[in-house]
Amino acid sequence: MANIKQQIKRNKTNEKHRLQNAAFKSSVRTAVKAVEAAVEAGDKAIAVEKLAFAHKKLDKGLAKGIYHKNYVSRHKSQLSLLVNSLS
């Protein structure tokens, strides 16, 4: 445990951000699974709708610095290919 006052404050904010990032990542995984479930069900309209939401969440994660740009790009590409395979 830190003895320095500023480091104690920093540890608090780090923990807060860690929890926020974990919650955000969980919501992104849920959005991705929703796209995959819609594709599995064979419903193109719902899959496209869920894909747009998943892309939005991934882009938000990139803007917040939670994800690397290549991670976001890769996942957006994979999801798009998955949805486009329905047609």
DSSP state, residue 68: -
Q: How far apart are CA 9 and CA 6, in angstroms?
A: 5
CATH number for 54:
1.20.58.110
Structurally, the chain folds into a number of domains equal to: 1
Q: Six-digit token pair at 49?
A: 């709708």
Q: Which domain holds residue 74?
A: 5-84
Q: How large is the angle between the packed helices 5-41 and 69-84, nearest 10 degrees?
A: 10
Q: How would residue 87 be classed by pLDDT, with cut points 50, 70 and 90?
A: confident
Q: What are the pLDDT digits (tens) for 41-51?
A: 999 999 999 99
**Does position 24 have pLDDT exceeding 90, yes or no?**
yes
